[in-house]
Chains A and B, each alone.
Chain A
Amino acid sequence: MPDKHFHTKKHDVWLPYRFSAGPVFERFFEGLKAGKILGNRCPRCERVLVPARTFCPRCYVDMGQWVEVSQEGRLVTWTMSTEPFFGMRTDLPYVAGLIHLDGTNCNFMHLLGGFETMDIEAVRERLKGSVRVRAVWREEREGDMLDIKYFEAAD
């Protein structure tokens, strides 16, 4: 933060939290540990949502059957930053996308990677049109969204 020309008091807030995962989220993360992407199906609209949810946000009923979904899909939209920002746990460049995994009925947010360049124009060229992507896993998995390293281009 730049120095201010008037009198201020620096004040840091530090807040620790422990979020309960609950059984549904826990099972999803157990799936990631095992190298699986788990969704579940709504008994009413029959959509498969991923990551797994406790209830269907559209129908407002409990989700039903668990489904292991495809690790491949179509890139729907993406954005990219070459500047670090707070909350980033990965190396630059940061490329995030919404991915329509095959057999599911929503878009799954994750990172994109495996690119050869940090140049935005080259990435734009690479991700133009309909791009299929596939999950790349970390060797060491611990039950975390980043157990999937990123999605790479599959074609």
Chain B
Amino acid sequence: MMRRVAIVEVALSPAGESADNYLDQVYRVCREVLDKAGITREDVGTVVSASSDVFHGGVSCANAYYWDSGAAFLKNGTRQDGESLLAFSYAVMRILTGHYDTALVLGLCKGSENPDNDMITHFFTDPFYQRPLGLNETVAAGLQMRAYLEHSGTTEEQCARVVVKNLGNALRNPNAHRKGRLDVDTVLRSPKVMDPLKELECAPKSEGFVALLLASEDKAKKLTKRPVWFRGFGSSMDFFYLGDRDMGSGVLAQAAKRAYDMAGIRDPVKEIHVAEVTEPYAFQELLWYEGLGFCGPGEGGKFLDTGATAPEGSLPVNPSGGVLAANPYVSRGLCRLAEVTLQIRGQAGERQVDREVETGLAHGTHGFAGQFHAVAVVGA
């Protein structure tokens, strides 16, 4: 039988601006996770971090800069750029090799001191064909949103309702960066930043320092009474140029199927009890419902309207407030996984969902309009 891997502890920083410096914040979450597990740095087998340092930090190469803080001394610290959930999958694989009993997974982002995400994502573009046209991630999202509205019949009100739900959920999350009791009209009346996208439908730029301690089955049982087991992971990459894609939920269905197959999940709507998805633009949460198989194609808005994804619903999505409430650009996928872990352990405090949670899903996406998707399934 395959070795099993569990998340045994997590630590998550607040998402609002902090006066601490980057190195100290990295140290704090690592220290916290080690102290909670009752182990020393020397007990950690390997470290995998997720960060994007040149642009999201102004430091190159931070994979050298922050390793002291990241508990990597005398270990094979490795950095992953791109979707941070991949760092989790790499750490799981390292434990599965049998060479390590524990692994520390880090997601590091100090958004408060970075330039605007639009400025940074402008540099994600092809300098020949795209950059002269001013493409950035928000432009891509605006193009995707209009195509989605027109093809699916989803309304702008339904997209705005995602903001109402998520920022409302964030009221119960002390770590959230943005929160509020809003109504649909307020969202619709907020400035149109990239028509049809409104300002309140776009995620902020936040901090997110997250540490997860992973362990093999034997070790996990020694370290915690409440291990959260790795059950499945899947990812998929779409084409780069927007004009080569369908601009819908793209390759998410494929990423989800890979994760579900590995986890033995046949009916995600019944078998997933909570999900944290990466929705930097509100309408994307509806698109991702479809890609994750929570509802049929084009039915994301209707699924939201049923109330299923509310904290008291049958499949709560983003009870933390999601990325609309806190958007640490390069660690947000791992932050989703940390939130799901807390939900499964019953440690989510005021944001703990009403229903019983045995199995949870974390979703991350990177690149414009969902070029890359990653899905992780974990359970009690």
Seen from chain A, the residues whose Cβ lies within 8 Å of a Cβ on chain B are 4-8, 11, 13, 17, 19, 21, 25, 29, 49, 51, 57-58, 76-83, 85-90, 94, 96-98, 106-111, 120, 123-124, 144-146
Contacts and interface: CB of A to CB of B under 8 A. Distances in A.
Interface stretch (B129-137, B176-184, B313-321, B333-341): B129-137
A26 to B, nearest CB: 9
A57 B115 CA distance: 32
Contact of B133 (A17, A25, A58, A96): A96
Given A85-B119, A106-B244, 17 more contacts: A8-B113, A21-B128, A29-B128, A51-B128, A51-B129, A57-B244, A78-B146, A79-B141, A79-B196, A80-B142, A87-B119, A89-B134, A96-B135, A96-B139, A96-B143, A107-B243, A109-B129
13 contacts: A57-B239, A57-B240, A80-B142, A80-B192, A81-B193, A85-B138, A86-B119, A86-B136, A87-B118, A88-B134, A98-B143, A109-B242, A110-B133
Contacts of B150: 77
Given A19-B127, A85-B118, A145-B133, A80 B195 contact: yes
B242 A89 contact: no
Contacts, number: 123
Interface in B230-249: 239-244, 247
B133 A109 contact: yes
Contacts of B58: 11, 13
Interface in B110-130: 113, 115-116, 118-119, 122, 127-130
Contacts of B146: 77-79
Contacts of B139: 79, 81, 94, 96
A123 B138 CA distance: 19
Interface of B: 17, 19, 54, 58, 113, 115-116, 118-119, 122, 127-136, 138-139, 141-147, 150, 191-197, 239-244, 247
Contacts of B127: 17, 19
A98 B122 CA distance: 17
Nearest to B243: A107
Contact of A87 (B122, B195, B196): B122
A17 B127 CA distance: 10
Given A80-B142, A120-B195, A87 B131 contact: yes
A91 B122 CA distance: 17
B195 A86 contact: no
Contacts of A8: 113
Contacts of B242: 98, 107, 109
A109 B197 CA distance: 18
A7 B138 CA distance: 31
A110 to B, nearest CB: 6
A33 B131 CA distance: 18
B271 to A, nearest CB: 33
B147 A76 contact: yes
A77 B192 CA distance: 17
Given A11-B58, A57-B241, A109-B242, A79 B143 contact: yes
Contacts of A6: 19
A79 to B, nearest CB: 3
B122 A86 contact: yes
A41 B141 CA distance: 28
A108 B195 contact: no
A109 to B, nearest CB: 6
B193 A83 contact: yes
Of A25, A80, A88, A108, which is in contact with the most chain B CB atoms at under 10 Å from its CB?
Answer: A80
A49 B134 contact: no
